[in-house]
């Protein structure tokens, strides 16, 4: 395989200006151009870096598509396989950004920052009830899914003195996590936690991983954090759990439908923090992508296996 023309699909604009990435890739060998959905533009490329999937990516003679997302649930993997197109993703770059976002969400809920922010809009000076604020130190956090995101969250939570446990398929131990549970022990793991943070990919095994039974298994003073994918949690069950006081609150970056519909009751709940799928957003996002792309162009030149290959 040889990459002489690399396209940057303009859908990356959802995360950073395409030109930023083009400039960051200026020094690599292939010609780098920003492209849209025009079949002629795509046909002129050997490889494309994209945010969104487009059917046009499958029938333009491309050798390689790189997604700037870690999650590949919105890409038709079988069709890439059939078309003989390599698909790579961007796992590995979001540990710091999502780790800090999740920590911020937990701090917001424990220190009541979300409530003060709402009050400020109305110029209101109301101190919280004496027993509302709490500190995160010594509070148990269970991180479900211990990959890049999960480890990023665990490391930061451990640093401020939280008691971190986690859930992964293998139950193999890892730094910053006091106890790792296997999937089968999910209920036991989450039942002890003040915060449950979901950081798994969306797969057949994780659709609705957090449902009615799981929210029931959580403590009534516990908070649910979702930075994975909306469909990893059953949103109806989550709303019921919040309404019925099965759990105390939530911080949600991802939803079954995005943007979150205007009529969703999640918008108006006191102890629910809604963020617009922005937990990974950061000014250096394009630089992390440039690094991954550069690395893989080198692998292609050396006839080596690509990093983060999905298909």
Assess whether 229 carries a catalytic annotation. Answer: yes
Region of 69-77, 188-196, 263-271, 299-307 interacting with ligand 7N6 (CB under 6 A): 69-77
Radius of gyration of the chain (CA): 21
**CA–CA separation, 179 and 20 (whole Å):** 42
Using CB positions, name the residue nearest to ligand 7N6. 71
Residues 74-133 that bind ligand 7N6 (CB under 6 A): 90
Choose between 25 and 167: whose C-beta lies nearer to ligand NDP.
167
Q: By CB under 6 A, is residue 310 in contact with ligand 7N6?
A: no
DSSP 233: B
Q: Give the dihedral of Cα atoms 300, 93, 200, 246; nearest 10 deg.
A: -170
Compare residues 1 and 77 and give the one whose CB is closer to ligand NDP.
77
Rounded Cα gap, residues 16 and 93, in angstroms: 15
Catalytic residue among 229, 235, 282, 288: 229
- Burial of residue 6 (CB within 10 Å: 0-12, 13-18, 19+) is buried
Binding site for ligand NDP (CB under 6 A): 70-71, 91, 94, 98, 144-150, 167-170, 183, 199-202, 205-206, 227-229, 253-254, 277, 279-280
- Nearest CB to ligand NDP, comparing residues 20 and 226: 226
* Stretch near ligand 7N6 under the rule CB under 6 A, chosen from 26-34, 64-72, 214-222, 260-268: 64-72
- 228 to 287, contacts with ligand 7N6 by CB under 6 A? 280-281
277 a catalytic residue: yes
Which of ligand NDP, ligand 7N6, none does residue 15 bind to, with CB < 5 to 8 Å depending on kind? ligand 7N6
Question: Is residue 257 annotated as part of the catalytic site, yes or no?
Answer: no
Rounded Cα gap, residues 270 and 256, in angstroms:
20
Distances 177 to 47, 149, 168, 194, 204 between C-alpha atoms, Å:
39, 13, 11, 15, 26
Sole binder of ligand 7N6 in the list 20, 50, 60, 69 (CB under 6 A): 69
In sequence order, the β-bridge partners of residue 182 are: 168
Task: Answer yes or no: are the C-beta atoms of 102 and 85 closer than 8 Å.
Answer: no
Taking the C-alpha atoms of residue 179 and residue 163, their distance in angstroms, rounded to an integer, is: 9
**Active-site residue (options: 54, 219, 277, 294):** 277
Choose the one of ligand NDP, ligand 7N6, none that binds residue 168, judging by a C-beta under 5 to 8 angstroms depending on kind: ligand NDP
Q: Binding of ligand 7N6 at residue 71 (CB under 6 A)?
A: yes
H helix runs in 251-284, sequence order = none
Q: What is d(CA 9, CA 34) in angstroms, rounded to the nearest whole number? A: 6
Binding-site size, ligand 7N6 (CB under 6 A): 7
- Residues marked active site are found at 229, 258, 277
């Amino acid at each position: 395989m040889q990459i002489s023309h690399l396209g940057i699909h303009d859908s990356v604009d959802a995360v950073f200006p395409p030109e930023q990435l083009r400039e960051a890739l200026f020094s690599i060998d292939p010609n780098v151009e920003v492209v849209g959905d025009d079949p002629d533009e795509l046909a002129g490329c050997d490889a494309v870096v994209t945010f969104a999937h487009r059917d046009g990516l499958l029938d333009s003679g491309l050798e390689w598509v790189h997604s700037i997302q870690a999650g590949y649930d919105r890409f038709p993997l079988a069709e890439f396989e059939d078309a003989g197109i390599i698909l790579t993703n961007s796992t590995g770059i979001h540990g710091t950004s999502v780790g800090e976002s999740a920590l911020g969400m937990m701090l917001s809920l424990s220190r009541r920052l979300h409530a003060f922010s709402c009050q400020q809009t109305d110029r209101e000076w109301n101190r919280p009830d004496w027993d509302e604020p709490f500190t995160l130190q010594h509070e148990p956090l269970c991180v479900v899914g211990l990959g890049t995101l999960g480890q990023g969250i665990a490391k930061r939570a451990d640093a401020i003195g939280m008691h971190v446990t986690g859930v992964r398929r293998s139950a193999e131990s890892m730094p910053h996590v006091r106890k790792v549970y296997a999937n089968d022990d999910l209920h036991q793991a989450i039942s002890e936690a003040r915060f449950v943070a979901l950081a798994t990919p969306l797969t057949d095994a994780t659709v609705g991983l957090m449902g009615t039974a799981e929210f029931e298994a959580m403590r009534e003073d516990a908070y649910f954090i979702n930075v994975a994918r909306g469909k990893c949690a059953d949103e109806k069950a989550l709303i019921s759990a919040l309404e019925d006081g099965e759990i105390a609150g939530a911080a949600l970056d991802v939803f079954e439908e995005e943007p979150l519909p205007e009529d969703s009751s999640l918008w108006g709940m006191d102890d629910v923090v809604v963020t617009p799928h922005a937990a990974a957003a950061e000014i250096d996002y394009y630089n992390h992508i440039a690094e991954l792309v550069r690395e893989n162009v080198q692998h292609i030149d050396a006839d080596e296996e690509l990093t983060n290959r999905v298909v």
